[in-house]
Amino acid sequence: HKIHLFENAGYAGRKMEIVDDDVPSLWAHGFQDRVASAKALNGTWVGYEYPGYRGRQYVFEKGEYRHWNEWDANQPLIQSVRRVRDQQWHQRGAFENS
């Protein structure tokens, strides 16, 4: 999983790279709440309007999002992000060993 978040539309301004991690607060990692463009390089991600994975949710599948209108937001506001993981590949997955 890898995603790049940008402060301004068109992949401009400050950039934050997140790799294989969930981030409950972008502020805690030195980034602000303004995310106006993004590039989801690997995996699927969910961006949340507020810290702690609260508020409106925006799904980022692999691809480029030049402007916040492309993920159907009404403002460029994301304050936490989380990976979407397939539970069957994890220890506490959906299938039991037989």
Residue at 10 is within a domain: yes
CATH for 36 = 2.60.20.10
3-state helix/strand/coil string of the chain: CEEEEEEECCCEEEEEEEECCCECCCHHHCCCCECCEEEEEECEEEEEEECCCEEEEEEECCEEECCHHHHCCCCCECCEEEEECCHHHCCCCCCCCC
Residue at 65 is within a domain: yes
Residue at 98 is within a domain: no
Residue at 91 is within a domain: no
Residue at 46 is within a domain: yes
Q: What is the pLDDT of residue 89?
A: 55
Residue at 90 is within a domain: no
Q: What is the pLDDT of residue 85?
A: 85
Q: What is the pLDDT of residue 86?
A: 72
Print the domain residue range for 6. 2-84
Residue at 28 is within a domain: yes
Q: What are the average pLDDT values for consecutive 10-residue runs of the chain, which has 98 residues?
A: 96 95 92 93 95 96 96 94 76 54
What is the domain count for the chain?
1
Residue at 92 is within a domain: no
